């Protein structure tokens, strides 16, 4: 196993080459650089830094509950050290494998070595001279020698950051329980008891055991496939992991004791449930026959990608019918109901502006991520304790690649909140969300009044196209109405960014309205 300390050159003399199993520590190795080729080590690795409301998606602990869901070290972590294998393709050929990928950083120690970084790709020119292979870097085009146990075939499991090779159960537990790794962090390894099988080890937590690690056997089929449960079989280990990364909580739905019917819309029901009998959650389920399961699950896919403390977090998905999307429960309900029937009726302008600033904060994040919401209104903002506001209902949200999204013909949108270019021509941008935010501001200051009172949708479209804009609501400062009017500029490019709106609202009572005095309504 491993590499020898030297290799023979083609010439008559031998050239000393350092032992590749004692690598130069690289930046990917965290606080120090242990030998990455030694199986079963438990290096002090920096764990994922995701917080509860900004999780990276990944595999879930089966039978567990909401958690940070990450491959070990994080989905995009550079502080990840994995386990190398010795030359997997000794001899004259590399088994037909064309491209290899670097598992670690390596600093050249002789003039004919290649320096490289973890993730660099190589084409192998000659691997007949032992454990040092002649290779060409795809990244730089340079040729030189590389230690064979620092690379793996690009499509092999050895190249995956979550694969740890021959690691024992105890070492896996020790590594996953390192402080900083969060619930849901996982790794895959060779099974200690069954040849050809693998084990999946996942960090979990419960009230009885506290932090613990659960282990699941990945079995191999006679035809070469893999499965944890026979109901779901996969050609490769990578496909299995990817499947459970995408299908979050496919196996283990929370204990759904539906205690309370919260809401129903044209497409779904929303219930209050409990998680493990303790944590309240909101459970959304699709109404039969109203839309395809794929379209319903697209909302969950969007929520997995958008993690921010002003966006309602996704906890779990059950992707087999009946389909459920499980999210944080916000005890005060929708902002619209809160303003019309709850404590919101008695709020003054400072609290309302703060709530608007929170919403702008969440939308500024969506803006930075190149997404659009397309259904921004008070009914889709949820309120929790201490007037915390979070954006919800991502059923219409989309990723935009060319700054614009064109809706399919016949798609339905809330006309009174939708920008004219979107309502009339289906052209959605983040600036059409800005328009909607201006309408939402009117909902806040009027305590939930329907926009354009007395007008039907067709009349709204006609009047807005002619230049009509809602007047300043009673009691609303003119400076805040001016922000609304900026949001309603006819040309989308003339509307402010959410980053600007957030800054304006956060500083509103120091920079814009320092002399504010509460009135009867606001």
Catalytic residues, by residue number, are 375
Rounded alpha-carbon distances, angstroms, from residue 30 to 47, 108, 189, 221, 421: 9, 20, 21, 37, 50
Query: In terms of DSSP bridges, do strands 226-227 and 151-153 run parallel, antiparallel, or are they unpaired?
Result: unpaired
Helix then strand then coil, % of the chain, to nearest 5: 25, 20, 50
Best CA proximity match to 61, nearest among 219, 220, 181, 165 = 181
Strands 99-102 and 121-126: antiparallel
Per-residue tokens: 390: 């979070």
Write the secondary structure of 205-265 as one string of H (helix), E (strand) and C (coil).
EECCCEEEEEEEEEEECCCCCEECCCCCEECCHHHHHHHHHHCCCCCCCCCCCCCEEEEEC
For residue 14, give Cα distances in angstroms to 3, 10, 97, 127, 509. Answer: 17, 9, 29, 18, 77
**CA angle (402, 403, 409) in 5-degree steps:** 85
Nearest of 141, 87, 142 to residue 111 by alpha carbon = 142
Helix, strand or coil for residue 126?
Answer: strand
Cα distance from N-terminal residue to C-terminal residue, the chain: 75
CA 376 to the chain's CA centroid: 21
């Amino acid at each position: 196993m491993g590499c020898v300390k030297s290799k023979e050159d083609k010439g008559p003399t031998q050239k000393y080459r350092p032992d590749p199993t004692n690598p130069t520590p690289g930046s990917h190795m965290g606080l120090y650089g242990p030998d990455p080729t030694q199986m079963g080590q438990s290096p002090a690795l920096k764990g994922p830094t995701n917080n509860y409301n900004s999780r990276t998606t990944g595999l879930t602990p089966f039978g567990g509950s909401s958690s940070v869901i990450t491959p070990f070290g994080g989905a995009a972590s550079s502080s990840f050290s994995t386990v190398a294998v010795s030359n997997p393709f000794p001899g004259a050929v590399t088994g037909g494998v064309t491209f290899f990928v670097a598992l670690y950083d390596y600093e050249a120690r002789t003039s004919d070595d290649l320096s490289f970084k973890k993730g660099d790709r190589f084409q192998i020119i000659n691997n007949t001279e032992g454990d040092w292979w002649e290779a060409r870097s795809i990244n730089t085009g340079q040729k030189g020698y590389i230690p064979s146990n620092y690379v793996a075939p690009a499509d092999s499991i050895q190249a995956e950051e979550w694969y740890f090779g021959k690691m024992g159960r105890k070492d896996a537990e020790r590594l996953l329980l390192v402080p900083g790794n969060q619930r849901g962090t996982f790794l895959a390894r060779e099974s200690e008891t069954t040849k050809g099988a693998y084990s999946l080890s996942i960090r979990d937590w419960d009230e009885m055991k506290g932090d613990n690690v659960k282990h699941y056997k990945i079995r191999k089929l006679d035809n070469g496939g893999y499965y944890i449960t026979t109901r779901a079989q996969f050609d490769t280990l990578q496909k299995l992991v990817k499947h459970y990364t995408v299908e979050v909580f496919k196996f283990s739905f929370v204990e759904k004791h539906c205690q309370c019917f919260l809401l129903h819309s044209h497409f779904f029901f929303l219930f209050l449930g409990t998680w493990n009998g303790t944590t309240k959650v909101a459970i959304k389920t699709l109404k039969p026959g109203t839309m395809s399961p794929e379209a319903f699950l697209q909302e969950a896919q969007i929520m997995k990608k958008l993690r921010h403390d002003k966006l309602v977090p996704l906890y779990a998905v059950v992707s087999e019918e009946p389909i459920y999307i499980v999210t944080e429960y916000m005890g005060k309900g929708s902002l619209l109901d809160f303003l019309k029937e709850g404590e919101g009726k008695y709020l003054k302008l400072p609290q309302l502006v703060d709530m608007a600033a929170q919403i702008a904060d969440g939308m500024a994040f969506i803006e930075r991520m190149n997404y659009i919401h397309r259904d921004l209104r008070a009914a889709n903002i949820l309120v929790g304790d201490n007037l915390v506001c979070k954006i919800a209902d991502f059923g219409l949200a989309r990723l935009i690649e060319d700054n614009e999204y064109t809706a399919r013909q016949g798609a339905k949108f809330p006309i009174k909140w939708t920008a004219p270019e979107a309502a009339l021509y289906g052209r959605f941008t983040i600036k059409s969300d800005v328009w909607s935010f201006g309408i939402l501001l009117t909902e806040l200051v009027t305590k939930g009044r329907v926009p354009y009172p007395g007008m039907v949708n067709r009349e709204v479209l006609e009047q807005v196209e002619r230049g009509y804009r809602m007047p300043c609501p009673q009691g609303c400062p003119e400076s805040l109405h001016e922000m609304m009017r900026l949001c309603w500029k006819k040309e989308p490019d003339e509307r402010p960014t959410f980053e600007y709106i957030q800054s304006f609202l956060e500083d509103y009572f120091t920079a814009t309205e320092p002399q504010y005095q509460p009135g009867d309504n606001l």
